[in-house]
Structure 1
Amino acid sequence: MVRERPLAVAFIHPDLGLGGAERLVVDAALELSARGHAVDMFTAHHDRRRCFEETLDGPFSVTVCGSWFPRSVCSRFTALCAYVRCILIAIYVAWGAWRRRRQYDVIFVDQVSAVIPVLHLLTRSKVLFYCHFPDLLLVQRRSRLRSLYRAPLNRIEEVSTGCADRLLVNSNFTNETFVRTFRRLVKRDVLPGVLHPAVRVPSQTDLERVAERWREHFPADLAHFLEGGPVFLSVNRFERKKGLDLAVRALGVLLTQQVDAHREVASCRLAVAGGYDERLQENREVLAELKVLVATLGLTDRVRFLPSFSEHHREGLFHTARAVVYTPQNEHFGIVPLEAMAAARPVIACNSGGPRESVLHGATGFLCRPDPVAVAAAMAQLTVKAAAERMGRAARSHVLRNFTRGAFGQRLEKIVHEMVDGMSEI
C-alpha cells in the first residue's frame, strides 16, 4: 500500500510562460497540491503578464531565481545559457533546503536534465525527470561549428537524463524516440514510463457560462469577426516548427472550393492565437511572415491574429470555433487537441506524433497529411454544423474517459510516493 503521508515536492522549470510544457508542470503542481502535498515552483523567468493564472494565485509558491544570468549571448548559446540558469535554480533550491534543514522528498525536473546530477550532489531528494522530447533532436545543425558546440551539450543531456531516479515521457511517440535516441541508456535498461498530459475538463455549466458571456472579453470588431461565419481556430506558439502557415494556406484552398448549399464555405474564417513573446526574435519573425502570407493570399478580411491571449480569450475562442486546426508535424504530444476536445470541438491535426494518440480519426476529428489540400478537405466536412457538433460531443466524451486532470494527478501522486517509499510500480 502507498502511504498517504503528505510529501514536499519542488518543481524546476526554466521559463514559466504559456505553452504545453508549462501547462503540464502547472497541472502537475496543482494536482499534487490538491492532494495535500506541499509544492513549490522554481523558475528563471515568470512574467506575471504572460503566464497561466494559477501561477499568480494558485495553491503553490512561485520563486524566480537565476534570472540575472542572460538567456543568450549576442542571440547565441541559448541552450548553454539555459543549462546555467537551471543549474543556478538547482543550487538555490539546495541552499534553501539546507537553510531550512528540510529536504524536498521529490524534485520534479523537466526540459533541462543537466540539473539532475547537481541536485543529487547537493540534496538528498529523489529526482523525477519528465522528458517532453529529447532536446538534442530539436536543434538545427546548420554548420560544423554549431555541431561542435552542441556535441558536449548532447552528451550532457544523455548522461544527466540517466541520473534521474524516475523517467517519464509524454507519449508513446516520445517514448519510441527516446529509445532510438538514447541508446546507451537503453543498454543499461534505463527506460521511461509514459504519463500522458491531461486537461481540466470544463463542466456543462462552465460551457454555458462561456456561451453567455464570451463577448464581454473581446473588442466589438473581433466579436463581430468571430460571429461572421464558421471559425477555424489555430492555437500554438508563433514558431516555425508549429507550421502555422499550413492553416492559413488551407483556408485559402477551402475558400476556392465549390461545394453544395449545405456547407458554409463562403463565410469561413481563421483565428490564429497563441503564445507570443516579444523578447524572442523567432516569434516576431513568424508573426510578420504570417501577416505577409495572409496579404499575399488575399485573406486579410478572413484571418485574425491574437498573440498572447488570456484564459477568458481561450474559452471564448474555443466556444466560437467550429473546429481547431492543429498544424505541428511530429508533435511530441500536443495539449491543444485535448483542450479543444474538452470544450466539445473537433480537431484537425497532422497524422503524426502525439495527436495520433489523442485524436480519433473520423470520430473526434481528422488526422491529415500535412498539406493545404488535405487539411482543407477536412475543414470542408466540418462546415456542416451538425457534423461538427456530433464530432464535438464525441470528442468531449473521449477526453472525459481518457485525459482528465484528476486521473493524471492520481497517477503522478502514485509515482512520487513510489519514489519516496522505495516501491516498484504496480
Structure 2
Amino acid sequence: MSKIVFLHPDLGIGGAERLVVDAALALQLKGHQVHIVTSYHDPAHCFPETKDGTIPVIVSGNWLPRSIFGRFLALCAYTRMIWASFYTVFLSNLQPQVYFCDQVSMCLPVLRLFTSVPVLFYCHFPDLLLASHQSWIQKLYRAPLDWMEEKTTSLATTTVVNSHFTAGVFCDTFKSIHQNPRVLYPSLNFHSFDRECGNNLNSIIGAEQVMDFVYLSINRYERKKNLGLAIKAFGVLKSYLGDAKVHLIMVGGYDDRLVENVEHYEELRMLVTSLQLDDSVTFLRSPSDETKTCLLKNCHTLVYTPDKEHFGIVPLEAMYCQLPVIAVNSGGPLETVEDHRTGYLCHPTVEDFAEKMKYLYGNRNLAIQMGERGRQRVIQHFSFNSFSQQLNELVGELTVPKI
C-alpha cells in the first residue's frame, strides 16, 4: 500500500473540504496511509474526522496572511499553497508515493520540480472563472494568476473533476491542456447519515408548535449561492398558502474571518425582515454534523438555489435522507437530480421555485415517493464504495512502476 499526502489550502467545512476528507477516508479503507497538509485548520470549525485523529492533519503556513487589507485573496492562497508544498518536500519526513492536490494548482511546480512523485489534481472548478474581472485593475491583477493557473494545472500527472459539466468547462477554459480530465463524482459516506440524531426539529428551530411542512436550504453564506432566491420564493409561497404552518430553515457554512460570509448573512436577515418573514424563517450558521443530519431527516423538501453549480453534494445528502430536491436546471444538479422523479429542476426564478414548493406542499405522497426514488438513486450511483474503488484505481495507476 502507498502513502498519500493531501495538500489543501484551508481545511474548513465546505464541499471541497468534505471531498478531501472523504477521499482520505476512502484511501484509508483501502489500506493506504494518508496525511493532510494544510495552511489552516480550526478544530472548532472542521469536520470531526480531522479533529478526532482519524485523519492526521499537519498545519503549516498559518503565519502567512489570508489577505492584504481584505484583498488579494487569490495571491495569498497561492502563496500559502506554495509554502505548504515546500514544507512537505523539504521540511517534513512524509515521503509519499502520491500527492493529492485540489483547488489551488500553484503547488504543482514545486512537487514536479523537486520530486519524482506523481500528482493527482482534483479540479473542483477553474478558479479564473470564479474571480471577478470587471475593472481594469482586477483584469491586471488576475492576468498573471490566470495564466499561471492554466500552466500549473497542466503539470498534474492525472487531473480529475467532479462532474461532466465541470469537465466540459475545464476543456473550454484550459485550451492548452490537451489531456482531458477524468470524472470522479463526489460521494456520500452513508454511515454518517444512518446514525441516530438526538435533536428534534422543534428544538433546533425554537418553534413551539409543530410545523406542517418545512423547507430546507443548505449552502455557504456566499452571494454566488443565490440564497435570496429561496427566501423570496418562500415569501411568495406564504402568500399562496395564507396561514399554513410552513417554515424555511436557512443553513449556511459561516466563517467570521470571511467578510462576505458576515455581510451576506446580514443581507439575508434584512431580506427576511423586509418580507415580514421573521417568524417563518430560521437561520443556522455552521451547525454540527448531528444537527445537519437531523434537519435532513426531518424536513420535507430541499431548496437548492446555486446556478451553474460545479457539482453540489447537498442534493445527494438530501436525496439519501429521502427529501425531494428543488434545484436550478444547470450545472451539477443536472447529473444528480432526476427531474420529476427525485425532485424538480427549475429556472432560477422566484415564480418557478415557488410553484414547485407549493406543488410538493399539496402533494405529500408524491414528495414521499420522490424521496424514496432519490435515496435509491444515490445508493446506486453515488455510493462511498464506488468512489473508494475508483479513487483507489487512480492511485494504483499512478504507483505502477514505469518500465
Q: TM-score range by the shorter chain?
A: over 0.9
Aligned residue for 1:321?
299
Cα drift, residue 228 of structure 1: 1.9
Distance of 1:159 and 1:77 partners within structure 2: 20
Aligned residue for 1:253?
236
Matches within 5 A, 1:198-209: 198-202=187-191, 206=194, 209=196
**Are 2:179 and 1:196 equivalent residues in the alignment?**
no
Aligned residue for 1:391?
370
Secondary structure at the aligned position of 2:4 is classed as strand
Cα drift, residue 58 of structure 1: 4.4
**Are 2:378 and 1:403 equivalent residues in the alignment?**
no
The aligned length equals 401
Aligned residue for 1:235?
218
Matches within 5 A, 1:77-226: 77-96=72-91, 100=93, 103-185=95-177, 189-202=178-191, 206=194, 209-210=196-197, 213-215=198-200, 220=203, 222-224=205-207
**One-letter amino acid of the counterpart of residue 398, structure 1:** R
Relative distance call for 1:21 and 1:203 in structure 2 (3 A) is closer
Secondary structure at the aligned position of 2:87 is classed as helix
Distance of 1:376 and 1:283 partners within structure 2: 26
Aligned residue for 2:37?
42
Post-superposition Cα deviations, 1:29-86, rounded to whole Å, max 9, x if no partner, equal 0010111100000111111111111111243200110110000111111100000001
Distance of 2:228 and 2:123 partners within structure 1: 28
Cα drift, residue 95 of structure 1: 1.7
Cα drift, residue 223 of structure 1: 4.8
Distance of 1:142 and 1:267 partners within structure 2: 44
Aligned residue for 2:394?
415
Aligned pair partner of 2:13 in 13, 18, 23: 18
Cα drift, residue 122 of structure 1: 2.1
Distance of 1:240 and 1:221 partners within structure 2: 25
Post-superposition Cα deviations, 1:5-45, rounded to whole Å, max 9, x if no partner, equal x1000000001101110000000000101111000001111
Cα drift, residue 96 of structure 1: 4.1
Matches within 5 A, 1:66-81: 66-81=61-76
TM-score under structure 1 length normalisation: 0.91
Distance of 2:33 and 2:209 partners within structure 1: 42
Equivalent pair of 1:201/1:343 in contact (CA under 8 Å): no
Post-superposition Cα deviations, 1:254-273, rounded to whole Å, max 9, x if no partner, equal 111159xxxxx821110000
Equivalent pair of 2:186/2:313 in contact (CA under 8 Å): yes
Distance of 1:398 and 1:256 partners within structure 2: 34
Structure 1, gaps ≥5 residues long: 1-5, 260-264
Distance of 1:50 and 1:203 partners within structure 2: 18
Distance of 1:64 and 1:247 partners within structure 2: 37
Cα drift, residue 354 of structure 1: 0.4
Secondary structure at the aligned position of 1:228 is classed as coil
Aligned residue for 1:376?
354
Aligned residue for 1:60?
55
Aligned residue for 1:3?
none
Post-superposition Cα deviations, 1:132-183, rounded to whole Å, max 9, x if no partner, equal 0000000112310110110000000000000000000000000110111011
Secondary structure at the aligned position of 2:207 is classed as helix
Post-superposition Cα deviations, 1:101-159, rounded to whole Å, max 9, x if no partner, equal x6211100001001001111222211010000000000112310110110000000000
Aligned residue for 2:278?
300
**One-letter amino acid of the counterpart of residue 27, structure 2:** L
**Are 2:25 and 1:30 equivalent residues in the alignment?**
yes
Secondary structure at the aligned position of 1:255 is classed as helix
Secondary structure at the aligned position of 1:279 is classed as coil
Post-superposition Cα deviations, 1:209-266, rounded to whole Å, max 9, x if no partner, equal 33xx323xx784725368322110000000000000000001011111159xxxxx82
Distance of 1:302 and 1:59 partners within structure 2: 39
**Are 2:342 and 1:350 equivalent residues in the alignment?**
no
Name segments (4+ residues, structure 1) moved above 6 Å.
Answer: none
Structure 2, gaps ≥5 residues long: none
Cα drift, residue 385 of structure 1: 2.3
Equivalent pair of 1:364/1:392 in contact (CA under 8 Å): yes
Equivalent pair of 2:202/2:209 in contact (CA under 8 Å): no
Distance of 1:121 and 1:335 partners within structure 2: 34
**One-letter amino acid of the counterpart of residue 3, structure 2:** A
Percent identity over the alignment is 45
Relative distance call for 1:295 and 1:109 in structure 2 (3 A) is same
C-alpha RMSD over aligned residues: 1.7
Distance of 2:192 and 2:264 partners within structure 1: 35
Distance of 1:219 and 1:382 partners within structure 2: 21
Secondary structure at the aligned position of 1:406 is classed as helix
Aligned residue for 2:245?
267
TM-score under structure 2 length normalisation: 0.96
**One-letter amino acid of the counterpart of residue 130, structure 1:** Y
**One-letter amino acid of the counterpart of residue 59, structure 1:** T
